[in-house]
Amino acid sequence: MSAHRDPRLPDRRRRPRAARPLAACVVAFALVLAGGAAAGAAVVPRAAVPHHAADGHYLVTLKGQPAATYDGTLDGLARTTADPGARLDVRSDAVERYTDHLAHAQRSVADSIGATPTHEYSLTTNGFSASLTAAQVRALGHDADVLSVEPDRMLHGRSTPAMRSLGLEGGHGLWAAAGGVERAGAGTVIGVIDTGIAADNPSFAGAPLGSSPGDEPYRDGQGITFRKADGGDFRGACETGDGFTAADCSTKVIGARSFVAGWDASGNPLGPQERRSPRDVSGHGSHTASTAAGDADVPADIRGRGLGAIAGVAPAAKVAAYKACWNGPDPTDDMDDGCALSDVVAAIDQATADGVDVINLSIAFDGPALDDEQRALLGAASAGISVAAAAGNAGPDAGTVSNAEPWITTVAAGSVPDSYLATVTLGDGRKYAGGSITVSSRVSGPLVRASAVGVAGARSPGRCGKGTLDPAKAKGRIVQCDRGVSARLEKGDEVRRVGGIGMVLTDVEADTEDLDAHSVPTVHLDADARPAVAAYAATAGATATLTPGDTSGVERPAPQVADFSSRGPVAEDGGDLIKPDITAPGVDILAASADVDGRPGFALESGTSMSSPHIAGLALVYLGLHPRATPAEVKSAMMTTATDTVDAQGAAVTDPFAQGAGEIAPGRYLHPGLVYASGPRDWAGFAAETGLALPDPAAPVPVAQLNLPSLAVGSLTADRTITRTVTSQTAGTWAASVQGLDGVDVTVTPARLTFTGPGQTRAFRVRLSPRAGGASDAWSTGSLTWSGPGGTVRSPVAVRPREVDAPPSATGTGSTGEVAVTVTPGVTGRIDLTASGLVPGRVLRPSTGPRTGPTGSVAEGDRFDHPITVAAGVRALVIDAVPRDGVSDLTLELARVAADGSSEVVETRTSSSPSERIVLTAPPAGRYVVGVQAEAVAGSAKEADVDVTRYDVTAARGQGSFAVAPAQLPVTQGRKATWTASWSGLAAGARYVGLVSYSGTDTTTLVDVVTPPMSTSTPTSTPTPTPTPTPTPTPTPTPSAPAATTPAPTPSVVSAPVAAGTPPDARRPSRRAARIGLT
């Protein structure tokens, strides 16, 4: 359950540009929150209930503050929020009285509509989940105590090198600095929200629990109590059930709970191997837990192959498992596995109640976040809990990062040096190193291509599927097999069946070199090696030798940001927030897994699921030494001491949207020198600025002004000043310096900061000025470094100078009308405006059936595809997918078809709106496929009828008249300017799309016009407020990742959800995500 599918399952179509994680286990949700208001302006709250309510399971959030953020404003109820550096005291009289108050309010709301809650939340968020009818949802929309009602929908998708890389061991390693391996993380507890835990794995070995208080955890009535390093108590429970007994908890595993009510409410059955208990049957939760806090010196093997001893980053820490993710009924298909949002929120609330110090969340989304999950994590962080979360596995495209809120430490995945390698030496002497854990000794023999030794009439024998190879041709040979179609392990089994002595598994396109326990000695080579190896294997007398280790002589620089690791920036935040925050090992990580045939299991996995627990473990070590540190301090310490990753040539990478602050440096972060502090009120200001509704809204804080250990400005059209404050950990003077940032002048004032002792704060200002003649519309990256006593404190910086800052869309109505658009120029002079369109949409029709029928009908979980051809010269291609019932939830996908028939996903869109839209500017001519998947079908209907409409905007004159005035817009740098789009002569009852381009830039504004059905209606126009621009930019430069390169920045993609019957851009773009899944 990592970045890549189970090796026993077939590889799916590669989606290198899809904005969705290639995760082994995915559950999806689609929720909309208004976003994209002008910087500094409060965002108008969205409607409390979905536009199209249907019977289902929902999360209901009330307007009262949860205990983690309650500030004591109610008469008779004291403040409950924790002081800085302290944890929320969930057992205090104040918290107990206040949560009783919340529980009464929740019951009152639930009783008012006759609902029975499945979960109740009071610590990190205030609300409940319940199965509701459409009428009950609508009734809640009129309840003054309700903040929001959001659907809990289940959508279906799809010594080790790391220890050495982090420098944990040795006299100068992290464990030594923490007081030894037995003290690394001592007195701390991690809450792992995942698939449960295999508590009998030796990574979680502990002594039986006693019943007497002391330094070790002990049974206290029905619970487990542990006195922590911060002086507080962890009080957990050991929930028993199928395959999990009270004896599975110990002095190591001191909490085990499961949350399944949301899953059950979805109607999804559990898989035949799943257990209704904290028992982990998939391995994902055990892997993440042992990576963070597994015991030290644990021998690990896979299929009997010894791979050395493993250890968690914080082996002295305790583990509490919160199982919120489950296996679906089909063991051969991971697409029916996942986590219900209501269960995840319940797990966060319970982990906070129990008193964990750190939460690891190896769950990610197709976009920044989901409201309820982020409100809960905000509550957890406000309660003093550090949260590490996966950035997602949707890389290498820009704008794909998940878990991107400032109260989270968002973690990218990097490679590690000295990974598990073997070498293929061809008979002509050429050598190629690849991934392998099965070549333990030299293997030599004839080399053949699988396609040449296939059974007559076999389909795709080159992929080595079951029954495709001929024993008479393959026996005694090393077989070169291509990846794809069949499961990876199946390929090795087929080679073994026919008597092959080894396998060279080659990627056909860029992917990872997976470390599978094949049944024959195997080396997995990347796509770059395939042409030469395959061509040689086809020659007469070809031979090959497989040898352990890398003897190729070709350097493999590390750490590199993995190809799959999701990238920033976060378009919905205007590009003013750098995410991910940091990089940690996430490729080929060896850790505990689920039991295999009754024996403890181990697995090698790749994904940001694997990098996140490394950061969680490092947070535990930090808190063991600094128990009163705040989440912001822990994150700042890690980020400001990180070092750059490298590209494939070994050169330093400076792209913060790939690496964040860089690779974690455990040797330095325990004593950073300076700290960037922030807390609940700062985070509430961010929520107000970006549209995340909270029970007690704060004054908006511009995203760029948050006191984070990173700086970003997504649109720099004139001089701008950013303020930061640092807190000292020791006396001394620090001097500022700036690295990189080509095309931008940077001034830091004051340039020197002096502290006479620890705990003092000093503010400084960073002035950013676009340099005349500098590059525009491209990201300029670099860093700001403070050098002082004992080291340096470095922050990543990203700035995007813009020639013009314009909204991506504007909407209007009427057969005749106009709309004004306001822009901010980054130059002085004139900007030429070019109008293209307006063009009406064309509904795609099936090749057979009535011409008035839908484009397709699709059952829940299924999809249909429709091929299209895009001509040369198209300036904008717009695809809308609308369910005729106005309720069913869809995923819309656009893929480009290559000459060889393979396809590459260009864009995927899923939101809470029933309808979806994709906009592609300057698309290359050629063949494409539009795909529509039904994530949820309304009511009792078996299928949803869907209309797909395309708009092709070209330079040719459109229908009616469409013009912009003035055609040459006079501008002064930094001063807003307005132009007007006008139209006339449009047919009634139609939708039209046009495009306005700005000379010398890639910036465009899409103009969407809807005409009323009655031609006699009075034309009107609706100006669209100018939002903070939300294009999806491509960072420059983008680091090279193993076996992959980042696609070029064009064509650019802008997406927005479309509500049925509503102009698609009449509302603010969705800020929230579509998919949740293990990463």
Quick one: pLDDT at residue 1022? 41
Residues making up the chain, counted from first to last? 1079
3-class DSSP state for residue 911? coil
Order of all β-strands in the sheet with 218-220: 218-220, 223-227, 233-236
Packed helices 608-625 and 284-293: angle between N→C axes, nearest 10 degrees: 30
Instruction: Provide the token pair at 226.
Output: 């542990």
Quick one: pLDDT at residue 1055? 35
Residues 6+ apart with CB under 8 A from 111: none
Q: What is the CATH number of domain 25-155?
A: 3.30.70.80
CA 963 to chain centre: 41
Active site residue 258: no
How, if at all, do strands 117-121 and 780-788 pair?
A: unpaired
Residues 6+ apart with CB under 8 A from 106: 62, 117, 120, 122, 126, 127, 128
Is residue 856 within 8 Å of residue 889, measured between CB atoms?
no
Is residue 641 within 8 Å of residue 786, measured between CB atoms?
no
**Considering 4, 52, 119, 284, which one is annotated as catalytic?**
284
Neighbours of 451 (CB within 10 A): 20
Quick one: pLDDT at residue 449? 96
The amino acid at 630: T
3-class DSSP state for residue 656? helix
CA distances from 246 to 213, 237, 255, 277, 278 (A): 19, 10, 10, 11, 11
For 31, half-sphere exposure in the C-beta direction (CA atoms, 13 angstrom radius) is 30
How, if at all, do strands 916-921 and 1053-1055 pair?
A: antiparallel
Domain 680-801 listed as CATH 2.60.40.2310: yes
DSSP-derived letter for residue 279 is B
**Considering 89, 194, 357, 581, which one is annotated as catalytic?**
194
Q: Mean pLDDT for each 10-residue chunk of the chain (1079 residues)?
A: 42 32 30 28 44 81 95 94 89 96 97 96 96 92 91 50 67 83 95 97 97 94 95 97 96 98 90 95 96 96 86 97 93 80 96 98 66 92 97 88 94 87 95 92 95 90 93 96 89 95 91 84 93 95 95 90 92 89 94 89 92 97 96 98 93 95 92 96 93 88 96 95 97 97 96 97 97 80 95 97 94 96 94 96 84 86 92 97 88 89 82 86 96 82 91 93 96 95 95 95 95 62 38 35 33 34 29 45
CATH of 805-1028+1048-1078, one of 2.40.110.10, 2.130.10.10, 2.60.120.380, 2.60.40.10: 2.60.120.380
CA 366 to chain centre: 6
d(CA 317, CA 102): 33
Neighbours of 872 (CB within 10 A): 9
How, if at all, do strands 817-825 and 916-921 pair?
A: unpaired
Domain boundaries, the chain: 25-155, 159-417+559-672, 421-548, 680-801, 805-1028+1048-1078
**Quick one: fold of 421-548?**
Glucose Oxidase; domain 1 (3.50.30)
Instruction: Provide the token pair at 235.
Output: 């009080």
For tokens 């300076």, the residue is 674
d(CA 863, CA 860): 8
Quick one: pLDDT at residue 916? 92
> Cα–Cα–Cα angle for 669, 675, 680, nearest 5°?
115
Q: Which of 638, 652, 640, 642 is CA-nearest to residue 558? A: 652
d(CA 360, CA 191): 6
Quick one: pLDDT at residue 1077? 56
The full DSSP string for 380-424 is HHHTT-EEEEE--S-TTSTT---S--TTSEEEEEE--SS-SEEEE
Active site residue 866: no
Strand-pair partners of 299: 309
Backbone angles phi, psi at 416, to 5 degrees: -125, 150
Q: Which of 446, 413, 426, 601 is CA-nearest to residue 517? A: 601
Q: Where are the beta strands (DSSP E) in 139-232?
A: 146-151, 155-156, 189-194, 218-220, 223-227
The amino acid at 351: A
DSSP-derived letter for residue 10 is B
* Burial of 319 per CB tally in 10 Å (0-12, 13-18, 19+): buried
d(CA 435, CA 429): 19
d(CA 861, CA 580): 31
Q: Which of 362, 312, 356 is CA-nearest to residue 203? A: 312
Active site residue 194: yes
Is residue 890 within 8 Å of residue 933, measured between CB atoms?
yes
Backbone angles phi, psi at 654, to 5 degrees: -120, 15
**Considering 609, 715, 836, 888, which one is annotated as catalytic?**
609
3-class DSSP state for residue 657? helix
For tokens 């006396």, the residue is 731
Q: What share of the chain is helix, strand, coil (3-state, %, to 5)?
A: 15, 35, 50
The class (CATH top level) of 159-417+559-672 is alpha beta
d(CA 119, CA 110): 12
Label residue 256 left, alpha or beta by phi (over 0 means left) and psi (-120 to 50 means alpha): beta
